[in-house]
């Protein structure tokens, strides 16, 4: 695989840092330029060997870059792309890590007239509760999926290049349309996060229970762990993918209504069938899934 002469990572947090660190370890990049607003974080990234040089101005950071990774919050991707576009090299490839795709593509097209052919929309399905460059892990992407959602006019060489780099850091690359991506992750990721936030918020607003959280055990902790996720990031995701999330939120509400009806009827048979069907599905698709 051809080595990148210069990789620019805009947003030197867990996702971007881990990608850069692994490529450096593999000898697949000569220089990594990190860009962000937090100077202390950038200095630490240099100390940790994640980046070689730091820039606070993205227009300077992308100069002569072969690949630009936009590892910033969803709402910042399109504005930053518009800002750096005039300063990109002619053959520079740009990719992102946003967890909603259709809105990002639409916003970039709206700001630039169309999505550039060298833009490869991406979404790595990996993360940790810890964030920031201190959490960088070169093995973060091992056996994790990365979804690419190229458009019909996306440069095939750019798609291949981005795909190869993700595979090099250990990821399994899948291709799908942006709309299908947003439906899938609204149902399997975005909705569960909203449910966890809502449950904790509901209990927090009922003082008649006292400090109910002192009585929580494994089930509650497992279900609500993701409610400790970054609030600003999930605010952006909820807004950016609101249509798909609402669709699945309504479907979940219908399931809750059905459950409430069964409880009201004290229908033990139907409750048992529902719980058994859910357990069987989860065991088949998650618990016993081949690695």
The one-digit pLDDT tens for each residue of the chain (291 residues) are: 899 999 999 999 999 999 999 999 999 999 999 999 999 999 999 999 999 999 999 999 999 999 999 999 999 999 999 999 999 999 999 999 999 999 999 999 999 999 999 999 999 998 766 678 888 899 999 999 999 999 999 999 999 999 999 999 999 999 999 999 999 999 999 999 999 999 999 999 887 878 889 888 999 999 999 999 889 889 999 999 999 999 999 999 999 999 999 999 999 999 999 999 999 999 999 998 766
Q: Select from 10, 38, 55, 45 the least CA-distant residue to 24.
A: 45
Q: Do 75 and 154 share a domain, yes or no?
A: yes
Specify whether 50 is located in the same domain as 169.
yes
Same domain, 115 and 211: no
214 and 264, same domain (yes or no): yes
Contact 252, 246 (CB under 8 A): no
For residues 47 and 140, membership in a common domain is answered with yes
Q: Closest Cα partner for 169 from 124, 118, 119?
A: 124
Q: What is the CATH number of the domain that holds 214?
A: 1.10.3660.10
pTM over 0.85: yes
**Which of 75, 59, 120, 62 lies closest to 239, judged by CA?**
75
Q: Which domain holds residue 201?
A: 180-287
Minimal CA–CA distance to 55: which of 88, 32, 30, 79?
Answer: 32
My answer on whether 24 and 111 are in the same domain is yes
Give the CATH number of the domain where residue 70 resides. Answer: 3.40.50.720
| 278 and 207 within one domain | yes
Token look-up 């950038």 returns: 42
């Amino acid at each position: 695989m051809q080595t990148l002469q210069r990789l620019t990572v805009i947003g030197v947090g867990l996702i971007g840092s881990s990608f850069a660190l692994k490529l450096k370890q593999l000898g697949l990049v000569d220089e990594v330029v990190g860009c962000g607003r937090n100077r202390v974080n950038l200095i630490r990234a240099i100390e940790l060997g994640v980046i070689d040089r730091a820039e606070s101005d993205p227009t300077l950071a992308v100069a002569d870059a072969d690949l630009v990774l936009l590892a910033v919050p969803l709402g910042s991707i399109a504005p930053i792309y518009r800002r750096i576009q005039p300063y990109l090299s002619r053959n520079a490839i740009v990719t992102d890590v946003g967890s909603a795709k259709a809105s990002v593509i639409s916003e970039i097209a709206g700001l630039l007239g169309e999505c550039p052919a060298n833009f490869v929309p991406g979404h790595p399905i990996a993360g940790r509760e810890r964030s920031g460059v201190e959490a960088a892990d070169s093995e973060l992407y091992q056996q994790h999926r990365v979804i690419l959602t190229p458009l019909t006019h996306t440069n095939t060489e750019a798609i291949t290049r981005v795909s190869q780099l993700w595979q090099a850091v250990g990821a399994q690359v899948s291709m799908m349309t942006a709309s299908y991506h947003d439906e899938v992750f609204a149902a399997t990721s975005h909705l569960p996060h909203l449910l966890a936030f809502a449950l904790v918020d509901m209990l927090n607003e009922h003082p008649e229970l006292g400090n109910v959280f002192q009585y929580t055990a494994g089930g509650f902790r497992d279900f609500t762990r993701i409610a400790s996720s970054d609030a600003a990031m999930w605010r952006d995701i909820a807004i950016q993918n609101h249509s798909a999330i609402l669709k699945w939120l309504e479907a979940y509400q219908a399931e809750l209504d059905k459950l409430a009806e069964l409880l009201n009827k004290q229908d033990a048979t139907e409750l048992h069938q529902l719980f058994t069907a859910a357990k069987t599905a989860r065991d088949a698709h998650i618990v016993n899934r081949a690695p």
